[in-house]
Amino acid sequence: MTVPNLTLNNGVEMPALGYGVFQTPPDETTTAVEEALRVGYRHIDTAAAYANERGVGEAIKRSGLTRDDVFIETKVWISDYGYDETLHSFEKSARKLGVDQIDLLILHQALPSAFDRTLEAYRALETLLADGKVRAIGVSNFMPEHLEQLLGVAKVVPAVNQIEVHPYFQQPQLQNMNREHGILSQAWSPIGGITFYRGGDKSTLEDPVILAIAAAHGKSAAQVMLRWHLQEGRSVIPKSVKPARIAENFDVFDFELTPDEVARIDGLDTGVRSGPAPEFITLENFGRVIPEE
């Protein structure tokens, strides 16, 4: 099975379905990513703050795939914002991943309390892009007001905005703004894992609407949610370390949701964010040193 590509606003093509390694322990990352690559994933999403870039790089090396076969996405952490700091952050990530060029490099958060540093970090991404060290650049968890400020000074429109999107939290205003500016919405926690693994009392995997649609197609709730994202044009990066789930999340291209089914899932939006509020992301709350090696 070949995953269809999405074309970013600078012409770079990226697989629509990727594999995420958020919260995957470093010692489990290589095995999990090796399995994902064996199943057929060709887009891996990691981040400096996950402390598992080295495991991703090792898995790609062991896979026997060529560098051009795998689309690598990683993120700069807020502690490394600032022009020179972000240039150095690229060097750290590239070294851990074992590559000379990163396909997509994005800013992990907006850092509203020090937005000048955020803007300098993005300027560094533009330099890395111009120098050919990255193929595309973007942002993550940027709200409309952050995008407005960025677009007011940026020379390059972000290719991607990676945001919390799942049936219970869809951020339509933000998705519309992304679309208007040619920015691809990339969904993290696409099957709503964040709604239940942090002790929430409502699970997307047990939602009766989603389960009814899943039963109609002979698919799982997770597969229905991934298909929903893909049909609405989003990039998705589900994560699991279980081989059966890794394979299940990949098996979403042999069925199609009807317009009515898509509308029913759209109707599940609660407007309630499960991830941290953007204004809560400060260096005081979340700053951490990203190691050199």
Residue whose structure tokens are 């990339």: 186
Residue 123, classed as helix, strand or coil, is helix
Spatial distance between the Cα atoms of 157 and 179, rounded to a whole number of angstroms: 12
Closest CA to 143 of 123, 159, 127, 163: 163
Supply φ then ψ for residue 45, to 5 degrees: -110, 120
Distance, in Å, from the CA atom of 274 to the CA atom of 122, rounded to the nearest integer, reads 26
Q: Would you state the structure tokens that stand for residue 27, as one six-digit string?
A: 């010692």
Q: Can you name the residues that pair with 89 across neighbouring β-strands?
A: none
Position 272, amino acid: V
Q: How far apart, in whole angstroms, are the C-alpha atoms of residue 16 and residue 236?
A: 6
Sign of dihedral through CA atoms 180, 135, 45, 15?
positive
Q: What torsion do the CA atoms of 111, 99, 28, 202 make, to the nearest 10 degrees? A: 40
Q: What is the C-alpha separation between 28 and 33, in angstroms, rounded?
A: 9
Are 224 and 252 in contact by the 8 Å Cβ rule? The answer is: no
Active site members: 50
Helices 144-151 and 115-130 pack at an angle, to 10 degrees, of 60
Q: Pinpoint the alpha helices (H) of the chain.
A: 26-39, 53-63, 83-97, 115-130, 144-151, 172-180, 208-217, 221-231, 243-250, 259-266, 283-286
